Amino acid sequence: MSTSVFGTILLSVAVLAAATMAASAFSPLNQRRSLALGGASAAAMFATVLAAFFLLMRAYATTDLSLFNVFMNSHELKPFVYKLTGTWANHEGSLLLWLLILSGFGAAMAFAGRGDPATRRLALGVQGVLSLAFLLFTVLTSSPFEAYPADWPPAQEGRGLNPLLQDPGLAIHPPMLYLGYVGLSAVYSFTIAALIRGDLGKDWAQAVRPFLLFAWGALTLGIGLGAYWAYYELGWGGFWFWDPVENASLMPWLAATALLHCVMVVERRDALKPWCAALAILAFGASLMGAFLVRSGIVTSVHAFANDPERGVVLLLLAIFFTGGGLVLFAWRGQRLIQTAAFEPVSREGALVLNNLFFSVLLFTVFLGTFWPTVIEVTTGTRISVGPPYYNVMTVPLALAMAAALAFGLLIPWKRQGRGAWVRPYQIIIGFAVGGALLLTFFLGGNFWALMGFAASLLVLGGVVADLARKAGKPETALQRLAALPQRSWAAVVAHFGLAILMLGMTGATVFHSEARFVLEPGETASLRGLTFEFKGSTLTNGPNYLIQAEDVAVSRGDRVLNVVSPSRRYYPVADKGTTEVAIQRLGFGNLYIASGGGAANDATRTFRVYVHPLIHLMWGGALLIASGGFIAAFAPAARKTSTQAAPAAAEAPA
């Protein structure tokens, strides 16, 4: 049986399984049988999609040109590992990866046993409907198993692949983002189920929590990896460009971050339920938008791949259907989620409302910035840009306010247990942050941005330390008490500490960066920030499937030669495309970053762009810590249910 036929059969079986899964929830079967049927079909769908995925991967590994998809997107001469990752570096293959993760989460929902059975039954049904829609779309319009056309001349070699995609960063970062985007489907399905039943409370929160935190961790990691890829592969000396596609991945992250804090309130306090439901729908809607805006052709971006306006627009319509449908259901059933608990403004839940307010405003700002150029172009015909200067002005003050709210939230206990004990430590944190930021900015010669960045970072750091100190209590018993802290408390500590580190690194790498452009002949030197660069000369060599034009540059500090680095440019003949390979030399927590701008062919003169990014490794490390916090919390045991036990340390500990 040919690969094409076998793959199509596997996907068809998956369609049947998805249909059964969707139908099981609404069938007249009793609850136990319906759940069993839903679970079995979820498992069957996962198994068949997994088999189809491996089948496609095998076709890529062996460059099986009988598949049209392999013919279009791969080539014999590609390195083996990029043949494998090429499986998902195209429209059809990435959809199959999407389906694999979607069905994986469906199976996890069925077997993790979270949520009360009636809600889980409906949630499985909603996940089945989602899976069915995307499976049908794939099979009908975008099947990776389409055969090579019989009436075409026999295929000799594949059509290659975008060289930008032949890179470890791009091999890992889309699957990680997908894990985040699709993970939110489980949150969506549980929310729709809860809305249908009109009961969204602690059970819902506990069912949704692990999926949400896992998806959030993966999304954080995916965005971080994307930024890292842009940093070293584009050779522009930056890591975040406020590009529409970057924004499209940031929006679901902002919504999910707001949601995971909101879920905490629902879990402990039976409040904010309608808001939480709306956020859950928006977070998954933003994920769908983020995933499919990339290929719609509506926005142009460096990250846009597999641009395919027609099918992309259908995907966008599916995204609008599921988001819009969810919101209509919310409008219809939302008022049933009446708030029952009393709400104290000066409390942990009050701080979390503030957190949600700030995150939503940030989300709205990014949304405006991303789509405003489209609005203006459609209404007035003028093309405008919304670039980094806009986002810096809008988001940095907000980030500072959020940091202040975070420190407050970490100090104040739930409900009315605060009793003013938080005031003194909060004053100390504010003083520490403002004083520290002023000193750092003054001694390092920074500007107003530096002041805000340092203050935000120190506020969060102060909050984390004060929170730990409060939880530790008296020095004699501190270690015991810290060891007894639940896993999810540590997860919050890790994530918030990561945020402080990330903001510090970001401030260093952006406000205190240096850059220069040098035009050098071989033997000439230039210097920047106490470093001297000597251009030694150029070499031309062959890579596996590209040519390398490298420029050797000796970097020295004083009389000591630190290293000889070789920023280079690659040319891929099959794709007739080039890439820039920057040279990065680590200097402590920072980087020296040299990109070759090339030069005229008949001339030995070369242009170099040289950047120094202090503390940038703190930023990468911070992002890793934030994501780890998400994963640690995702696999933490569920919290005890009674809200009186919510903040025992706070009640006993002297502030």
Which residues make Cβ contacts (< 8 Å) with residue 437, sequence separation at least 6? 451, 452, 454, 455, 458
Q: Which of residues 372, 432, 449, 571 is near other proteins by CB under 8 A?
A: 372
> Using the rule CB under 8 A, is 307 a contact of other proteins?
no
Residue 201 vs 325, nearer CB to other proteins? 201
* Choices 41-49, 110-118, 595-603, 614-622; region in contact with other proteins by CB under 8 A: 595-603
* Choices 20-28, 355-363, 478-486, 613-621; region in contact with other proteins by CB under 8 A: 355-363
Q: Which of residues 333, 609, 613, 617 is near other proteins by CB under 8 A?
A: 609
User: CA of 289: how far to CAs of 285, 314, 317, 321, 389, in Å?
Assistant: 6, 12, 10, 11, 25
> Using the rule CB under 8 A, is 201 a contact of other proteins?
no
Q: How far is the CB of 642 from other proteins (least distance, A)?
A: 19
* Choices 52-60, 194-202, 430-438, 601-609; region in contact with other proteins by CB under 8 A: 601-609
* Choices 379-387, 431-439, 500-508, 543-551; region in contact with other proteins by CB under 8 A: 379-387
The Cα 619–Cα 617 span in angstroms is 5
What would the 3-class secondary structure string for 564-596 be?
EECCEEEEECCCCEEEEECEEEEECCEEEEEEE
Are 181 and 285 a contacting pair, CB within 8 Å?
A: no
Angle at 587 between CA 453 and CA 629, to 5 degrees: 50
- Residue of 207, 211, 205 lying closest to 267 (CA atoms): 205
The Cα 416–Cα 422 span in angstroms is 12
Sign for the CA dihedral angle at 232, 235, 239, 240 comes to negative
> Using the rule CB under 8 A, is 237 a contact of other proteins?
yes
Q: How far is the CB of 193 from other proteins (least distance, A)?
A: 25
Residue 30 vs 382, nearer CB to other proteins? 382
* Choices 145-153, 237-245, 499-507, 571-579; region in contact with other proteins by CB under 8 A: 237-245
- Residue of 219, 208, 210 lying closest to 626 (CA atoms): 219
What token pair was written down for 244? 């529409």
Q: Which of residues 26, 364, 442, 635 is near other proteins by CB under 8 A?
A: 364
Phi and psi angles of residue 118, each rounded to the nearest 5 degrees, phi first: -65, -40
Q: Which burial class, exposed, middle or buried, applies to 622 when counting CB atoms under 10 A from its CB (0-12, 13-18, 19+)?
A: buried
> Using the rule CB under 8 A, is 343 a contact of other proteins?
yes
DSSP string, 100-143: HHHHHHHHHHHHH--S-HHHHHHHHHHHHHHHHHHHHHHHHH--
> Using the rule CB under 8 A, is 393 a contact of other proteins?
yes
Residue 142 vs 568, nearer CB to other proteins? 568
What token pair was written down for 82? 């990029």
What token pair was written down for 87? 């499986």
- Residue of 214, 226, 233, 123 lying closest to 174 (CA atoms): 226
The Cα 114–Cα 263 span in angstroms is 15
Residue with tokens 């701008």: 597
Q: Which of residues 532, 585, 607, 628 is near other proteins by CB under 8 A?
A: 607
The Cα 176–Cα 164 span in angstroms is 18
* Choices 35-43, 366-374, 483-491, 551-559; region in contact with other proteins by CB under 8 A: 366-374
> Using the rule CB under 8 A, is 242 a contact of other proteins?
yes
Burial 392-408 (b: 16+ CB within 10 A, else e): eebbeeebbebbbbbbb
> Using the rule CB under 8 A, is 380 a contact of other proteins?
yes
- Build a one-symbol-per-residue string for 548-587: x at contacts with other proteins by CB under 8 A, - elsewhere: ----------------------------------------
Residue 283 vs 632, nearer CB to other proteins? 283
Q: How far is the CB of 238 from other proteins (least distance, A)?
A: 7
The Cα 358–Cα 70 span in angstroms is 46
Residue 93 vs 369, nearer CB to other proteins? 369
The Cα 171–Cα 169 span in angstroms is 5
- Build a one-symbol-per-residue string for 110-149: x at contacts with other proteins by CB under 8 A, - elsewhere: ----------------------------------------
> Using the rule CB under 8 A, is 432 a contact of other proteins?
no
Q: Which of residues 27, 66, 365, 628 is near other proteins by CB under 8 A?
A: 365
* Choices 11-19, 143-151, 164-172, 378-386; region in contact with other proteins by CB under 8 A: 378-386
Residue 285 vs 599, nearer CB to other proteins? 599
Q: Which of residues 388, 435, 523, 543 is near other proteins by CB under 8 A?
A: 388
Q: Which of residues 112, 133, 320, 394 is near other proteins by CB under 8 A?
A: 394
> Using the rule CB under 8 A, is 357 a contact of other proteins?
yes
Residue 150 vs 393, nearer CB to other proteins? 393
> Using the rule CB under 8 A, is 476 a contact of other proteins?
no
> Using the rule CB under 8 A, is 588 a contact of other proteins?
no
> Using the rule CB under 8 A, is 529 a contact of other proteins?
no
Residue type, 453: G
Strand partners, 504: none
- Build a one-symbol-per-residue string for 258-277: x at contacts with other proteins by CB under 8 A, - elsewhere: -------------xx-----
* Choices 149-157, 191-199, 386-394, 560-568; region in contact with other proteins by CB under 8 A: 386-394
Burial 314-342 (b: 16+ CB within 10 A, else e): bbbebbeebbeebbebbeebbeebeeeee
Q: How far is the CB of 397 from other proteins (least distance, A)?
A: 10
Residue 147 vs 604, nearer CB to other proteins? 604
What token pair was written down for 144? 């990776």
Residue 256 vs 353, nearer CB to other proteins? 353
Q: How far is the CB of 342 from other proteins (least distance, A)?
A: 4
Residue with tokens 């940031």: 250
Q: How far is the CB of 387 from other proteins (least distance, A)?
A: 3
* Choices 179-187, 361-369, 482-490, 524-532; region in contact with other proteins by CB under 8 A: 361-369
> Using the rule CB under 8 A, is 617 a contact of other proteins?
no
Q: CA 381: distance to chain centroid?
A: 33
Phi and psi angles of residue 254, each rounded to the nearest 5 degrees, phi first: -65, -45
The Cα 187–Cα 15 span in angstroms is 22
Q: Which of residues 301, 374, 417, 585 is near other proteins by CB under 8 A?
A: 301
> Using the rule CB under 8 A, is 537 a contact of other proteins?
no
Residue 398 vs 468, nearer CB to other proteins? 398
Are 22 and 132 a contacting pair, CB within 8 Å?
A: yes
Strand partners, 612: 514, 592
Interface size with other proteins, residues (CB under 8 A): 50
Residues at the contact surface with other proteins, assessed by CB under 8 A: 236-238, 241-243, 271-272, 300-302, 339, 341-345, 350, 353-354, 357, 360-361, 364-365, 368-369, 372, 376, 380, 382-390, 393-394, 398, 515, 519, 597-598, 600, 603, 607, 609
